[in-house]
Structure 1
Amino acid sequence: MDMRAAIEALTEEAERQIRDHLAIALASVHGRLAWFLGAAATALAPVLHWRALPDEHGPTFDAVKPTPQQYTDAEDAIRRLHTTLTHITT
């Protein structure tokens, strides 16, 4: 599952819980919001292995240069995550 799909699945779950009137549970630091944030961090973890500089600038510590599509997917995932977190907290 790519980043965008993982974040989409998480946001659908959060939105379903809000529709089912579980917003109070989501607002808690413990429980579903903590799970949501942890799962979002896991989905976005590939970004930690990306590098922006070319190899000739020194060791990359196994970091990889992402493809343009990976950048696009990550940007879309972050936008979706931002929208969902804004919705959850309002």
Structure 2
Amino acid sequence: MDMRTIIKGLADEAERQQRDKAWEPTEADRALAARTAADLGAAVGPAELRQELSAVERLEDLREALAVIAIATSRVHGPLAWLLAAASTALSPVLHWRAMAAEHGFAFGTIEAGPAQYDDAEEAVRDLRNLLTTLAT
């Protein structure tokens, strides 16, 4: 399953939990969601600008997005923490990517990601940003 599909599933679950009154985000949740959404938007900007970047820059930005999620997860408990942790897990394949050739064949099990994989991961981050923006309101 691709990263976007997983993030969309998380968005559906969050919407369902709120609709069923199983989860009512607190003001602190909303503030953290807003801050995290803004930071994700800064890490992975508009799709039109991404294609011009090198694989190294795209990978750096995706890793930054993962760091944003990790920091946010460390600052919250309950459903929002669980949502962020699941999103982090969905995006974790990024941690196994490399954007540079492996000298002498040693790469610690990393793989070179292709343009479609970068596109999927960046769109998944944007989808998560949109979900968090919705939660913040």
Q: TM-score range by the shorter chain?
A: 0.7 to 0.9
Question: Are the equivalent residues in 2 in contact too, given 1:7–1:80 (CA < 8 A)?
Answer: yes
SS of corresponding position for 2:98: coil
2:12 counterpart letter in structure 1 = E
Kept in 2: contact 1:7–1:40 (CA 8 A): yes
Contact residue 25 and residue 135 of structure 2 kept, 8 A: no
Give a deviation string over 1:19-78, Cα, whole Å, max 9, x none.
344333693832111110110011001000000111238732111011221111101100
**Cross-structure match for 2:87:** 40
1:74 aligns with 2:121: yes
Aligned to 1:85: 132
- State the Cα RMSD in Å: 2.3
Does 2:132 align with 1:50? Answer: no
User: Which stretch has the larger CA shift, 52-61 or 34-43?
Assistant: 52-61
62 and 53 in structure 1: CA distance in 2 versus 1, 3 angstrom threshold? same
Q: Is the 8 A contact 1:7 1:77 kept in 2?
A: yes
Distance 1:64 1:18, change over 3 A: same
Given that 2:3 and 2:121 are in contact with CA atoms closer than 8 Å, whether structure 1 keeps it comes out as yes
Q: Secondary structure at the match of 1:23?
A: coil
Structure 1: gaps (5+ residues): none
1:23 and 2:24 are equivalent in the alignment: yes
Supply the AA of the counterpart residue of 2:79.
R
**Mapped partners of 1:38, 1:58: distance in 2:** 32
Aligned length: 90
TM-score (norm 2): 0.57
Identical pairs, percent: 53
Does residue 8 (structure 1) correspond to residue 55 (structure 2)? The answer is: no
TM-score, structure 1 as length reference? 0.83
